[in-house]
Amino acid sequence: MRAYPYRRLPGVVSLRVTAVELRGPDDIRDPLDTSAFSAVEQVVAPGVSERDDWEWLRMTVEATVPGRATAPDSPWTDLAVVVVLSEGATNTRITTALAPGAEGGRQWVGHLDLWRADHRDRASMSVHVVATVDGVAGREIAASTKDWIVDLKSEAPLRDRELDVVEVGFREGPQWLRGFHEVPWVVDTSGDLPVVHINTDFEGVSDLVGGNGTSVDNMVRDLLIAQLCTDVWTAVFHTAIGDLEIEDDGTPLFPRDWRGEVLREMLPDVVPDRPVEDALGEVHRRRTGTSGWTDLQPRIHYAATRRADVPKALSTTIRGLDSIHRGADA
Amino acid sequence: MTDKPNFLPERLALLADLNAAQYLTDGLLSGKEDVPAIALNKTTEPLPHDGESRAELDPVRALVEDAMYQFRDDRPTAADGWLAPRLHAALRLTRREAADRRFWNYLALGVAPDYVVWRHLAAKSEDAPPKVAARRFRGPAYTQAFARLWWAAELFRDGPDYRPVVTMCANQDMLNTALRVDVMDHRPTALATVRLMERGTVRTGREVNALVAAINASAATLMYDVVAPDAARDGKPLREWIEAAESAPAVPRRDLPVGPYEEKAPEQSVDVLVDHFAEIFAGAPVRGRPDADEGTGGEV
């Protein structure tokens, strides 16, 4: 909990996207179907439209602010409600001020325009309540806690990312994959997003991973996918932790792309009961220090296994096998 | 010394991190070896804008050679302020394109490894042999040799005017810290910081670091976007500027180039922040300043 030297607004501030419209050079105006944005996931995915000729998009947004903000006896004046959209990877930050709507100052409405050329992957969007407090203008007195995401890469408005899976024959494939021609898959964490390369030269593996067969096939498939996901989580964690930028005083910084997301997600399981910033410092110290970080490996493995749903997949498989055996015995 | 690549194709390209890794040898990083250019160009991918003039390799190579020639008797750091705006104007990228690390990997390893070595070869201590940090070739945007210059130009230009970029690059601490803090993504904030450098309010590296730290700390409770609003973002001038690349002459070497005709940051917004920043800087602890009071900092 941080301390502020002025009165803040208690209560929940929330943001909703109510409409999205794609705009293009030839006066294209394409209002997106509601399937392109999800209020539950809090994600906007313009990719749902399957059109590639848009240049910018306009979101209609609505914020709900606790009624106390505008109460006559409140300590805040010059109230403003501002939506901020930013993407670290492109250093882009745009803001728009909302206007008071109906419902006695609790609802605020407005538009936010996003230019496609300014964004690469995922932009996040939050709402901030700003006011003059004790004579100081521009104080942030409240903010939304859960960001909205505008996802330019996905074709569905989902918060969790789907893995990028490429099926390729390793024997004849890109140079660096050829040495791995005996294994069923390889995880590549070097790019914008982690990619899983499935080796089509490994007979049957792509049918098994992508297929929908008998119940035994499906059990094996789910177990295999859980294994694959464990590999991915382990690989992305090591990549992220191994490529940190360090401040002059030795404090590691969270990367601003998916590597940062991965660390924030996994660190609570690797170093439990500590704020993520402390956890990052701790892991970095252990990894680069003299005592080594072998004792952390089981925790990293635990964090990866949990995210990959291994326990669930395995217990389902074991139960499934049991019932098959019983059927065979009967 | 690492030399100009012995093979240069006609077009710029993309080089994935994974493929770049194999060329970051000790020999290259200590400036003793060249990059195997032909092998490297077999592992690249074409640019999404491969068919456009701005994908030509020659103009970029020529620009970098001019930078090395012009500052041959100077400290290589002095070349940053010259090259940043010109590189930005020669490449004409969108932010979306510039966020692709593969592009910068290729510039550093495929187009001008000799520049990276010339500019960034440094000894960590007196008895250690000089080395280039690998992240100057392949790394985050705020350290990679070319990405840092491009982003400095992008975030610190005032619409078509690159002059603030030159001021900003004149101080290495500014160039190194400013790109790492999100607060500089707000244009009036970036320009107000430069204004304080021009005025001489902040001069030394330590002062710059203290100022940026104070601005960053103050942003935790004050929303600069509200007290100093920027003009609404409009992508059309940038698109036109990129389209004009087809007929644009080479980037001027003597005068500053002209950037996209975006609306400039509102003068009043910059003024408000100049006053505010000057005030918090006056109360900020600066390492080595006699009156530095490390305990209290400034009220934010």
The angle that helices A297-307 and A258-270 make with each other, rounded to 10 degrees, is 110
Is it true that domain A14-151 has CATH number 2.60.40?
Answer: yes
User: What pLDDT digit, counting tens, does each position of A31-41 carry?
Assistant: 988 889 999 99
Instruction: Tell me which H or E stretch contains A97.
Output: strand A92-97
Which residues of B are less than 8 Å from A176 in CB distance? 18-19
How many C-beta atoms surround the C-beta of residue A80 within 10 A? Answer: 18
pLDDT at B290: 66
Q: Read off the pLDDT of each residue in A87-116 and give the average, rounded to a whole number.
A: 91
Nearest Cα neighbor of A124 from A145, A152, A149 is A149
- For A163, A164, A312, the CA distances from A229, given in Å and listed in that order, are 9, 12, 13
Contact B169, B175 (CB under 8 A): yes
From A137's Cα to the closest Cα of chain B, the distance in A is 7
Q: Do B226 and A97 touch (CB under 8 A)?
A: yes
Q: Where are the strands (E) in chain B, listed by range?
A: 13-14, 45-46
Joined together, the tokens standing for residue B74 give: 């100077």
Q: Read off the pLDDT of each residue in A116-141 and give the average, rounded to a whole number.
A: 95
Separation CA B233–CA B236 (nearest Å) = 9
| Residue A219 CB partners (closer than 8 Å, separation 6+) | A316, A317, A320, A321
Q: Which residue of B has its CA nearest to A98?
A: B226
Joined together, the tokens standing for residue B225 give: 């976007």
pTM value is: 0.86
Which residue of A5, A128, A176 is in closest CB contact with B223? A128
Joined together, the tokens standing for residue B201 give: 């309010």
Which residue of B223, B287, B296 is the best one to mutate when testing the A interface, meaning the one whose CB has the most A CBs within 10 A? Answer: B223
Stronger pLDDT, A179 or B136, i.e. the higher one: B136
**pLDDT class for A26, splitting at 50, 70, 90?**
confident
Q: Which residue of A has its CA nearest to B218?
A: A139
Which residue of A88, A116, A190 is in closest CB contact with B16? A190
Separation CA A233–CA A307 (nearest Å) = 8
Domain range summary for chain A, segments of one domain joined by +:
14-151, 212-324
Interface subset of B 69-128, CB within 8 angstroms of A: 94-102
Q: Read off the pLDDT of each residue in A299-328 and give the average, rounded to a whole number.
A: 88
Which residue of A80, A86, A115 is in closest CB contact with B226? A80
The angle that helices A215-242 and A258-270 make with each other, rounded to 10 degrees, is 100
| Residue A115 CB partners (closer than 8 Å, separation 6+) | A55, A56, B233, B234, B235
Separation CA B225–CA A217 (nearest Å) = 56
Asked which of A74-78, A246-250, B178-182 is least confident by mean pLDDT, the reply is: A246-250
Q: Which residue of A has its CA nearest to B235?
A: A115
Which residues of B are less than 8 Å from A108 in CB distance? none
3-state secondary structure of A107: strand
Most confident by average pLDDT, A16-20, A102-106, A260-264: A16-20
Which residue of B184, B225, B273 is the best one to mutate when testing the A interface, meaning the one whose CB has the most A CBs within 10 A? Answer: B225
The single-letter DSSP state of residue A294 is: G
What are the 10-residue block averages of pLDDT along chain B, 300 residues in total? 94 91 93 95 93 96 97 95 98 96 96 97 86 92 96 98 97 92 95 96 93 94 95 95 95 96 97 96 82 44
Joined together, the tokens standing for residue B150 give: 């491009």
From A170's Cα to the closest Cα of chain B, the distance in A is 16
pLDDT at A2: 66
Amino acid making up residue B98: A
Separation CA A42–CA A149 (nearest Å) = 6
From B104's Cα to the closest Cα of chain A, the distance in A is 13
- In the structure, how many helices (H) and strands (E) does chain B have? 16, 2
| Buried b or exposed e, range A255-285, using 16+ CB within 10 angstroms | bbbbbbbbbeebbebbbeeeebeebbbbbbe
| Residue B138 CB partners (closer than 8 Å, separation 6+) | B17, B20, B21, B24, B101, B104, B105, B108, B109, B144
Q: Which residue of A has its CA nearest to B240?
A: A25
Long-range residue pairs from A260-264, CB within 8 A, at least 24 positions apart, any chain: A260/A88, A262/A233, A262/A236, A262/A237, A263/A237
Angle at B281 between CA B276 and CA B284, to 5 degrees: 130
Q: Do A119 and B96 touch (CB under 8 A)?
A: yes
Question: β-strands A148-151, A43-44: how paired?
Answer: parallel
Contact B105, B138 (CB under 8 A): yes
pLDDT at B3: 93
Separation CA B117–CA B138 (nearest Å) = 13
Stronger pLDDT, A103 or B101, i.e. the higher one: B101
Angle at B15 between CA B14 and CA B18, to 5 degrees: 150
Joined together, the tokens standing for residue B95 give: 């932010």
Most confident by average pLDDT, A202-216, A242-256, A287-301, B129-143: B129-143
Interface subset of B 184-243, CB within 8 angstroms of A: 184-186, 220-227, 229-230, 232-235, 238-239
Amino acid making up residue B39: A
Angle at A260 between CA A255 and CA A261, to 5 degrees: 160
Q: Do A139 and B222 touch (CB under 8 A)?
A: yes
Average pLDDT, chain A: 88
From A315's Cα to the closest Cα of chain B, the distance in A is 37
pLDDT at B291: 57
Which residues of A are less than 8 Å from B96 in CB distance? 90, 116-120
